[in-house]
Amino acid sequence: MRSMWWAFADGARHARGRVDDWLVGEKHAVRAAAVCRIGTGLAVLGLLLSNVSTRGMWVGQASVWAEPARAVSRFPELALLDGVSSDILALVYLVTMLATLAFIAGWHAKAANVVTFLGFIAIVAQNPVVSAPGDDLIRLTLLWMLLMRSSDHWSLDARRRGRRLAAGEGAAREEEALPPWLSTGLHNVGLVALCAQTVLASMAAGLDRVAERPWQQGTALYSTMQLPEFRPFPGLSDLLSQSTILLAIVTYGVLLAQLFFGPLLLNTHSRRFVVVLAVVVNAMLAVVFGLPWSTLSTIAVTLLFVSDATWERLEDAVLLATQPVTDWLGDRWYDVLDAVDGLRYRLVLPAVDWVRFTVLRR
Amino acid sequence: MPSSPRDAAVARPRHRWVVELLLVAVVVHSVVLALWLAPSSPLRDAAGDGRLASYVNPYFQQGRDVVGVGAERVDVSFSIRARVAPDGGGRSRATQWIDLTRLDDKAGRHDLTVGRVRLIARRLAANLDLALADLDEAQRAVVRGLTANELPSVVKVALEKAGGRPAAVQVFQAYDQMATQFTSLYAQSRWDGRVVQVQFRVGRRTVPPFAERGTASLDDVAVSHLSFGWRRTVRGPLEARETFDSYVKKR
């Protein structure tokens, strides 16, 4: 009995050690996190840009009619825009867009993530009547990314860090705020939470749909494609909905990508299949149903399941393919710098000299 | 990589339990979320809808429709009209109905990035339709008989007296109020003169079944309209009226 207890305790200790090694040993999926950062940021920026001209009607003073719906919302961030003038709204809107841009570029990504998260809730939750289910996914992604290190690759932060290290300097103070093991641990915990969230959301949607007969028969999206709200391109909707085969492929594709998303992630080959399927399905939904921003955010979290090795290979392939273009752009950039320098010598410096010798001498 | 278990123990940080605790919290959170998103089951019922909602709302708020698109069958429309009196005085007259959802659909054609304002009319109509369906027949009769002079507090009492659930009355009144305010602001920008009263109606039709796709389309289905009574105009703040002015004039 005693030896059994020791064996169990030893096994538990060993398992804990393995979990610890995974958690605090190294950051996982750092490139995938960078892709998720860029994709989610683009979804937020796209949403804000497509509503910028009508922001006053959407969430400003002219949305005063939505007050009863706003009153039952429990987001404290709503107070940021509560009854503010159009100037303040424009300012908050602009700050959120700039923060989102910084988040996409990975410029002080953590701070940009915080501002984007708060601004997104303050703006989007302001008018609950016209909210979209995809807003929830964007909010949840931004929330879990607060724990993650999403700017270790493909970001201005990474470039700055590289330059500092090349110059023999240490990391910036904001990057050393936490001990490395804690920063790594938080990143990995955030990654687990976001991946679990993505799998749960997909499977819940799939389970909900598979219970309905039209989804089983492969005709569920026919009725949605007939509604004016979901047919920005009527010709495309008609093309898909009039063909039984195409409609069944699209319907089963959506169902398969959601219902079996979790189980198919368990094997490397099936994971590649389901990730590609989910990306293709969401890209199709974006165009056919006119849902670009929510589907982009879904694609961003789906790409978290692409391994870092694959992203590295993709990066190498893209760099190799674009090398002639980047070389050409680099040469042109030096030409531009030379031209600017020439202008400085021919126009600016003589003007400065003229001011110094004629005006200031008096 | 540590070479032996002893080295590994030395390499692992002392306070790693903080991260372990966070991981446990994430696992528990995911289980709660799974219960929240799961279809109705004894396990979910045991956890209780209210208890799960109090945890999930507001930051983890989500439904089963977060990803993808569902099978929608109902097309709704939202039309408005007003009683407008000339600025110089005189009798008010009722305007023609204008279908705001049709204007939104026209503007959204071949546009992938439709603004959220184009959803307002349709969402108001859909929510009013649902709220009305939640009332019972006697309450719907009360709604049909409402006039512009009745105060919301009086309407509330009348609806509750007619039966049904108080929560359904609350939801209906909230959407009725929102639709009245939105219609008032829109009407004041749309028609010249003094808008005295406004009225809105919700249209509803269902997409014909897939089996009938060769013979019937949505355009062939007659819209069943439900008119709500006249409502007194709510003027709204000046800045709201100015924003509506510039939006409505651009349409």
pLDDT, tens only, B206-247: 999 999 988 999 999 999 999 888 999 999 999 999 999 999
pLDDT in tens, A291-316: 999 999 999 999 999 999 999 999 99
Residue A11 lies inside a defined structural domain of this protein = no
- State both tokens at B15: 């306070």
Measured between beta carbons, which residues in chain B are less than 8 angstroms from residue A20? Answer: 12, 16, 19-20
Structural domain including A156 reads: 27-211
Distance CA A192, CA A151 (A): 18
Per-residue confidence band for B151, with pLDDT thresholds at 50, 70 and 90: confident
Q: pLDDT value at position A241?
A: 94
CA A352 to chain centre: 48
Q: For residue A128, is it within any domain? A: yes
Q: Å from A215 to nearest chain B CA? A: 8
B224 close contact with A: CB closer than 8 A: no
Asked if A136 has any chain B CB less than 8 Å from its own CB, the reply is yes
The rounded distance, in Å, linking the Cα atoms of A186 and B190 is: 54
Question: What burial class does residue B184 get, using C-beta atoms within 10 Å of its C-beta: 0-12 exposed, 13-18 middle, 19+ buried?
Answer: buried
Three-state DSSP class for residue A57 = helix
**Cβ density class A26-36: b for 16+ within 10 Å, e for less:** ebbbbbbbbbb
Q: What confidence score (pLDDT) does residue A266 get?
A: 96
Across the interface, whether the CB atoms of B111 and A193 are under 8 A apart is answered: no
Q: Residue A247: inside a domain, yes or no? A: no
pLDDT given at position A358: 82
How does pLDDT run across A90-127, given as a tens digit for each residue?
A: 999 999 999 999 999 999 999 999 999 999 999 999 99
Residue A306 counted as domain residue: no
Q: What is the pLDDT of residue B133?
A: 92
Is residue A219 one of the residues assigned to a domain?
no
Could you read off the pLDDT of B187-204 as tens digits, one per residue? 999 999 999 999 999 999
Q: Distance (Å) from the C-alpha of residue A340 to the closest C-alpha of chain B?
A: 39
H-run or E-run covering A30: helix A30-50
Residues 6+ apart with CB under 8 A from A207: A259, B38, B39, B64
Q: Do A182 and B62 touch (CB under 8 A)?
A: no
Q: Which residue has the tokens 């993709």?
A: A314
Q: Which residues of chain A have pLDDT under 50?
A: none
Query: For residue B6, what pLDDT is reported?
Result: 47
Structural domain includes residue A173: yes
Cβ contacts of A224 on chain B, cutoff 8 Å: 69-72
For residue B221, give the nearest of A159, A226, A195 by alpha carbon: A226
Q: Kindly determine whether residue B64 and residue A56, on different chains, have CB atoms separated by under 8 Å.
A: no
Give ipTM to 2 decimals.
0.91
Do residues A302 and A29 make contact, with C-beta atoms less than 8 angstroms apart? no
Residues 6 or more apart whose CB falls under 8 angstroms from that of A325 comprise: none
> Greatest CA span in chain A, whole angstroms?
103
Closest-CA residue to A68 (of B17, B25, B182, B83): B182
Number of domains in chain A: 1
What does the pLDDT read at residue B132?
A: 92
List all residues of chain A from 262 to 321 with a beta carbon under 8 Å from chain B: 281-282, 285-287, 289-293, 298
Mark which residues 4-33 of A lie under 8 Å from B by CB. Answer: 16-17, 19-21, 23-24
Output the pLDDT for position B114. 93
For chain B, what is the mean pLDDT?
91
**The three-state (H, E, C) secondary structure of chain B, written as one string:** CCCCHHHHHHHCCHHHHHHHHHHHHHHHHHHHHHHHHCCCCHHHHHHCHHHHHHHHCCCCCCCCCCCCCCCCCEEEEEEEEEEEECCCCCCCEECCCEEHHHHHHHHHCCCCCCCHHHHHHHHHHHHHHHHHHHCCHHHHHHHHCCCCCCCHHHHHHHHHHCCCCHHHHHHHHHHHHHHHHHHHHHHHHHCCCEEEEEEEEEEEEECCCHHHCCCCCHHHCCCEEEECCCEECCCCCHHHHHHHHHHHHHC
